[in-house]
A and B are shown apart, each in its own frame.
Chain A
Amino acid sequence: MVTSTSLVYLIALPLFGSAILLLAGRRSDKWGHLLATALSASSFGVGLYQLSQMLARPTEERAITQKLFSWINVGTFNVDAGLLLDQLSICFVLLITGVGTLIHIYSISYMSHDENRRRFFAFLNLFIAAMLLLVLGDSYLNLYVGWEGVGLASYLLIGFWNQKPAYATASKKAFVMNRVGDMGLSFAIMIAFATLGTVSFSGVQEASHTASKAALTGIGIMLLVAATGKSAQFPLQAWLGDAMAGPTPVSALIHAATMVTAGVYLIVRSNFIFDAAPTAQLLVVIVGAITLMFGALVGTAKDDIKKALAASTMSQIGYMVLGAGLGPAGYAFAIMHLLTHGFFKAGMFLGAGSVMHGMNDQVDMRRYGALRKFMPITFATFGLGYLAIIGVPPFAGFYSKDAIIETAFNAGGVKGILLGSTALLGAAITAFYMTRVMVLTFTSKERWEDDQHPHESPLLMWLPMAILAIGSVTTGFLFTRGHALVNWLAPVVGEHAEDEKVLLQPVVVSALALLAVVIGVAIAIRKYQLSDVEKVAPQNVSFFTRIARKDLMQDSFNEAVFMKPGQTLTALLVQGDEKVVDGAVRGVGTMALGAGSALRKTQTGFARSYAALILIGAIVLIAGIWVVTQ
């Protein structure tokens, strides 16, 4: 393994920026955003340099490591704080720093009226540093540090406008639900340490050949729990919609392109565990399939443009998790969809931010309409992202999503047919709700108020959108040309032999997917473009629409099943503490008090009665002695 000394700069640069901005305080208000953007960009530069170095080396020497310091050194258990850059991490490094830098640039303009813009950039830099640590750590323990770091950054940024109580609550909700997932990761690390005796990726990979299946299944399931928490997958998905309380660039960077895909990274990185534990792998597929339908259904009912996009993110990550659960055949496609999704979804979120910017922060799509005339660049970039996500050839989503649908169909047996059909149905619904977003926002009739003056956003905002739009057009083609990404990732995720017996030919799958897309788009156009849309969401809707608007009752379910019993339990414990523990303490006091006042009555103050008592006592004593000695 080649060692390097320059990997640490990837993380150190944004971390340094975050520290400077937070420590310098208001003094750095004037130039803080520029420093943060420059440091993020230079981290991207280091990433590009590393990529060029990597390309210059032969395949087997491409992965490089750097040992920072010896972290934990107890007996036979040694963990170094070490970094690992291989073919998988470099994809993430470039995505995080590349998209991150674009979003920094966008935020300079988007947040220019916010008096806390410097703090915002400090948190953004902190996020970039933590996310890079997550993907560069060479052991589960190092990954865990970054994992918690991005959780912290996410919490700080969702609650960035914490003067609004609802936003502060949303950040707490995200934080608490993430903790549940994080517990899974810590359990996985504990099981790995207890059964395999090591927590480094290479060590676990070696040990996984000889380890017991039960241990690997346990680790796999716990890793899946961690992934569901961070990636907003079923059943820990409820926080993502509320996380849209954060500023839009945050939604684009953290809750669309990078952090929420950390779960997919974790599963793909742990491919050796899931390959050896079929039960855990099956659960991954099930979680992915459920979430992709769940997110798609929620997306059809949301009128808030950001929440509709958030539901779509959830659904698309469902596709990635589904891909990652299909084993060596799907890992590369999961990563490919992750990368293309990073481009088009970040682009669309920035587009949504641009629309909100021009519409006085209105987020209700029923109050938009006909914005194409006023925001041509936003319309164009959002439209390219839209074509990419619904999977129209030759845009990026077509290549990556079709690959996952095709792999799902070819998973074999009933499982393959079920998964494939789910993915196909999800594609149709995706086409429906994304067309709905597109039509309601840009093409249908005007439904906004007279005092709103929609206008195009400034250069600093549309330039990142344009670059991301180019990415959403080209990346799919580039990644699939000569199986570029599949071959690139093969040393990390394992080679996959081409299956002889396939259920459906790629052409057939593509045709079916396109048919699904056309149906979805047609229904959406008929419903929203060709008929009038009400300004206020109609109330006399079907039962399904109503529960979809309420996120398929996810919050009610969590409240009824976890929150209410939890509250009852704590109330019981408080009562138990007051009644039993405090009661015992107070009871001793009360008893002494009562005994005292009872005994006080014998103190009459008459000397003769005392004398009589002494006499009686003496007689009783003597009688007692006499009885005993007889």
Chain B
Amino acid sequence: MNPFNYLYVAGLLFTIGAVGVVVRRNAIVVFMCVELMLNAANLTLVTFARINGNLDGQVVAFFTMVVAACEVVVGLAIIVTIYRSRRSASIDDASLLKR
């Protein structure tokens, strides 16, 4: 199978994630879209590792996964805390730093 097809899928995934981050208000959905973008990047790394025939890309993908897992933990904690204090999970409401 042509490895470039994986890249197309990764590009599609990234685009969906990016558009989701920009257009959705719900923090949980935005968060999931961020995960989508991270996974698109992971897919790209693995694909390039396959194309080049070495393991460098796959190693980096593992790092990304670990970092993403940590990020999910911290991010979800923040979202839950904001929801508890403001009774809202809309990210447009959390613009206090501007004032």
Contacts and interface: CB of A to CB of B under 8 A. Distances in A.
A453 interface: no
A397 to B, nearest CB: 96
A6 interface: no
What bracket does the count of chain A residues touching chain B fall in? Answer: under 10
Contacts of A597: none
Interface residues of B, number: 14
Contacts of B99: 605
Interface in B54-91: 91
A610 to B, nearest CB: 10
Given A615-B18, A615-B22, A608 B92 contact: yes
Contacts of A603: 98
12 contacts: A604-B95, A605-B98, A606-B92, A607-B91, A607-B92, A607-B95, A608-B22, A608-B25, A608-B91, A608-B92, A612-B22, A615-B18
Interface string A589-613: 0000000000000011111100110
Nearest to B92: A606
The 4 closest A-B pairs by CB, nearest first: A605-B98, A605-B95, A612-B22, A611-B21
A470 B18 CA distance: 117
B94 interface: yes
Nearest to B23: A608
Contacts of A615: 18, 21-22
A605 to B, nearest CB: 3
Nearest to A611: B21
Nearest to A600: B98
Given A604-B95, A607-B91, A608-B22, 7 more contacts: A604-B98, A605-B97, A605-B99, A608-B21, A611-B21, A612-B22, A615-B22
Interface string B1-22: 0000000000000000010011
A615 B23 CA distance: 12
Contacts of B98: 603-605
A612 B95 CA distance: 16
Interface string A605-626: 1111001100100000000000
B61 to A, nearest CB: 21
Contacts of B95: 604-607
Contacts of A604: 95, 98
B42 to A, nearest CB: 18
Contacts of A612: 22
Contacts of B25: 608
A176 to B, nearest CB: 64
A250 B23 CA distance: 97
Contacts of B92: 606-608
Contacts of A607: 91-92, 94-95
Nearest to A605: B98
A424 B94 CA distance: 105
Nearest to B91: A607
Nearest to B96: A605
Contacts of B30: 608
A612 B30 CA distance: 13
Nearest to A608: B22
Contacts of B18: 615
A605 B91 CA distance: 10
B43 to A, nearest CB: 18
B30 to A, nearest CB: 8
Nearest to A618: B18
